[in-house]
Chains A and B, each alone.
Chain A
Amino acid sequence: DTGVSQDPRHKITKRGQNVTFRCDPISEHNRLYWYRQTLGQGPEFLTYFQNEAQLEKSRLLSDRFSAERPKGSFSTLEIQRTEQGDSAMYLCASSSTRKGNQPQHFGDGTRLSIL
């Protein structure tokens, strides 16, 4: 078990560009979550998957954001036409529902900086 991994760790891009982040959850975890975190605040929920199904998406998430988990394993988060307000840490977490109420296991995050 290597934990949750995210790639890249850092991404710097110009405003207007598209970016894609990848998350590889713990292999036996069926749930996968995406959060956004900005300085001084806690993680803000974006969306989550159970297996390959996207079950909930935050109303705060604009149409420029899309997430996929095509085979119920890794997930990607894409941001189109990035804006300066998208600069943040993007965290991925995974958990299992098979053993009752379990905590989420987090990756190290992808820090996005929009120039």
Chain B
Amino acid sequence: ILNVEQSPQSLHVQEGDSTNFTCSFPSSNFYALHWYRWETAKSPEALFVMTLNGDEKKKGRISATLNTKEGYSYLYIKGSQPEDSATYLCAFSDTNAGKSTFGDGTTLTVKP
């Protein structure tokens, strides 16, 4: 059973604060790491697909880094806005079979 852990479990920040979360995954047999954002009453939305050690991806105020040797990825949000409030999930794949093991997510609440 693969162990994918996310921390913290939840986070409350003020509008304008910058924040970051961690996803830890097995450092062996790495294939890909995905980040998703899941807003209440909506479906999970893909943010990033990361495949290479040292990868850095950016989309607007959100960015992510990847360290496959030590088995972690960070997701950063710069200048948080209330609309960033959501659960952020990471998903680890160890083969191209497509099966992903998800973490339990970090729930972010941004207060205006």
Contacts and interface: CB of A to CB of B under 8 A. Distances in A.
Q: Do A and B bind each other?
A: yes
A75 interface: no
Given A48-B98, A55-B97, A103 B49 contact: yes
B98 A31 contact: yes
Interface of B: 4, 6, 31-32, 34, 36, 41-46, 49, 51, 89, 91, 96-105
Nearest to A43: B102
Contacts, number: 62
Nearest to A58: B99
Q: Give 8 nearest A-B pairs by CB, closest first.
A: A103-B46, A42-B102, A106-B43, A106-B44, A42-B104, A108-B43, A43-B102, A101-B32
A99 to B, nearest CB: 11
Q: Interface size bucket, A side?
A: 20 to 34
Interface of A: 3-4, 31, 33, 35, 40-45, 48, 50, 55-56, 91, 93, 95, 97, 101-109
A103 B36 contact: yes
14 contacts: A3-B43, A35-B102, A42-B4, A42-B6, A45-B101, A45-B102, A93-B44, A101-B49, A101-B51, A101-B96, A104-B91, A104-B100, A106-B45, A108-B41
A68 B86 CA distance: 32
A42 B103 contact: yes
Given A97-B96, A101-B31, 16 more contacts: A42-B4, A42-B89, A44-B102, A50-B98, A56-B99, A93-B44, A102-B49, A103-B36, A104-B34, A104-B46, A104-B91, A104-B98, A105-B46, A106-B45, A107-B43, A108-B43
Nearest to A3: B43
B100 A45 contact: yes
Contacts of B44: 43, 91, 93, 106
B103 A108 contact: no
Greatest chain A CB density within 10 A among B42, B44, B91, B99 is at B44
B49 A4 contact: no
Nearest to B51: A101
